[in-house]
Chains A and B, each alone.
Chain A
């Protein structure tokens, strides 16, 4: 019988997704993107009113009005897409995965209908660079600090035959003492704050911390709760943020690689 299982496995078609199709791909995440040339004051007013978590805001500075989209606060409810009359659509690409907190935010000048571009270079899709990033193994300890388990479901999916995280030399480990990176989900609850701190202390330096999901990045829908301390960076220092509710496996992988790129000296390589 075990022979049958192995034989079937060998006969089953190759489903591995090539790395070029993975990076920054946001299909199915329901995250919004903005069609800048279609922005109007009226649309901006409507989408800001529709957003339940204030991920969309209007910012006035220097006499000009800017639309601000903070991916870290976005729970991917898609109300802005319904209210945005075509100026908002489902994002095909989200490259703000694994970036610093400031880079989670995008801005558009409403009058000139143009994005105010920051110089956060996107992750190169060259396979060579990927190989150089994980030339050696990366060990990840995942910590659920209070999540709804939606992020866990997607993190587990990273190990299925479509994404096969191990192809990059990235492993999930049981002990924080074996880890190079903590991948933390959830709004940190009062009841998990101490355990999260202990796990962080147990990771040998140099260490990387990545906050995952709307709750991990900004508290999400649980931000104001009496039973929640706040986002991950309210309890331990965070190096990179992966937005989404939940982020898809492709966004997770993009974010993990992005953090490695940003902190080459801290991913345990000489």
Chain B
């Protein structure tokens, strides 16, 4: 699965050739520094991770001695990855159309790259430098800046609209307000501690992150996770998806002023959080996944009751969802609003519910299954219109599918232990993928002497944020909260 190419230029150009060929999708571009015992420490590498035919992840790794050719002209999905690569490792990408800093704002000094430089005391730059937004000019064009702090209980980020009247001509994002240097924090973390960092990448999807991290460690060290632990992980992943989707559909109703379903679905989500507390001792499944399995078992007497709570929540939601979809004022606001075309979604390698709502049928659980998903057939819903309604429908369908997967798993829980020990030693690398509620989530880890040497997180939000502005032109600015919510991307998951 991982190809290592010895020569710089051919390595990267082979990756670009692969990206040019049909049926490939850019998954991630990231850097690393060799710190092996072979003595070649200090050599930077760039890794191009590519999905081939929707069935295989191929990673091309090449040493970097100077600027590398940019992949952005081949696939626009590379744009943010290459800006991050420069910010973290100081690797220049020749021909990149937009080489502005991404992770760091004006207070950060140029030429300090945290993955290769000492960043224990980085000076504060008081330069009032202005970030260069794209200027849209012409008669009647106004700029509307929004954020970083938004109205409501939402994460921070900046949106710069160019409008004529109510109509949006252009939207530019400026994010990374919640950048916390997370990938750097993984360096030298003991294997068992890394999972706590993973859980704090995107709190509402913390279990997906924890499982993705744990699977990467387990794959690297060739540890077989007990089947019962795999089953409990599946229950947690699907429950997290249910809660996210139910909350999203409710929030969409809130954004069109339909407050009864908004309050009702918030109550359904809370009932699932309380079911988690009762049977697993945790609302968001924090602390449940650790390398080697899970920390808490489900007693056999509890499976029936837990299943009934999930069933009741799913039934309530399905009824409410039917009502929502049949309400004409909802249809009026959701239909043909914020269309993301399949073509743009493909160019930006969009993942998750947003991809499936734009006619791109991808799902890690079906295409790259791991753990218990290897033995299951997961239905993958697909809609082609790419509007708010399609994204809502995907979430409604997937909530029912997740319910089915949980009940099926509860009925057939394997016996045995839920945790095996993980030796705090070893030198290895591995990749792991999980379909989080927001889409494809990957962890790549390099272990040296039983500690994390490098951990890269490909988050679905980082991948999908650049697509949101392209669903805006032609819509009115008042529909932005609705369109934004229909993508429901994580700021912290993106910014890390």
Q: Which residue of B lies closest to A152 (CB)?
A: B153
A232 to chain B, nearest CB (A): 14
Indicate the member of B179, B182, B269 with the most A CB atoms within 10 Å: B179
Contacts of A187 in B (CB 8 A): 180
Query: How far, in Å, is A202 (CB) from chain B's closest CB?
Result: 10
**A52 interface residue per 8 A CB criterion:** yes
**B181 near A148: Cβ-Cβ < 8 Å:** no
B204 partner, pick from A78, A153, A194, A224, beta carbons under 8 A:
A153
Asked if B283 and A28 make an inter-chain contact with CB atoms under 8 angstroms apart, the answer reads yes
Q: Nearest chain B CB to A213's CB is how many angstroms away? A: 9
Tell me whether A172 and B153 are in contact (CB under 8 A): yes
Q: Are A199 and B149 in contact (CB under 8 A)?
A: yes
A150 with B180, Cβ < 8 A, contacts A1-B326, A1-B328, A161-B266 known = no
Within 8 A of A (CB), among B172-206: 176-182, 184-185, 193, 196-197, 200-204, 206
- Is A144 an interface position by the 8 A CB rule? yes
- How many chain-A residues does the 8 Å CB contact rule pick out? 65
User: A155 CA to B155 CA in the complex, in Å?
Assistant: 12
A191 touching B176, Cβ below 8 Å:
yes
In the complex, whether B90 has a CB less than 8 A from a CB of chain A is: no
In the bound complex, do residue A189 and residue B204 qualify as a contact, i.e. CB atoms below 8 Å apart? no
Across-interface contacts of B200 in A (CB, < 8 A): 75, 148, 150, 215, 220-222, 245
Residue of B nearest to A249 (CB): B270
Stretch at the interface among A3-11, A38-46, A257-265: A3-11
Is B120 touching A226 in the complex (CB atoms < 8 A)?
A: yes
B281 touches which of A28, A77, A149 (Cβ 8 Å):
A28
Complex: chain A residue closest to B296, CB-CB:
A78
B151 touches A174 (CB 8 A): yes
Contacts of A159 in B (CB 8 A): 266
User: In the complex, are the beta carbons of A30 and B282 less than 8 A apart?
Assistant: yes
Taking the complex as formed, is A117 at the interface, i.e. its CB lies under 8 A from any CB of chain B? no
Please, how many angstroms separate the alpha-carbon atoms of A1 and B253 in the complex? 14
9-residue interface stretch from B257-265, B389-397, B402-410, B469-477: B257-265
Cβ-neighbour of B203 out of A5, A151, A176 (below 8 A): A151
A-side contacts of B103, CB under 8 Å: 227
- Is A189 touching B180 in the complex (CB atoms < 8 A)? yes
CB pair A225–B277 under 8 Å, yes or no, is: no
Residue numbers in B under 8 Å from A82 (CB-CB)? 295
List the interface of chain B (C-beta within 8 A of A).
Answer: 103-105, 107-108, 114, 119-120, 122, 124, 148-149, 151-156, 176-182, 184-185, 193, 196-197, 200-204, 206, 258, 260-261, 263-264, 266-267, 269-271, 273-274, 276-277, 281-284, 286-287, 295, 319-320, 323, 326-329, 490-493
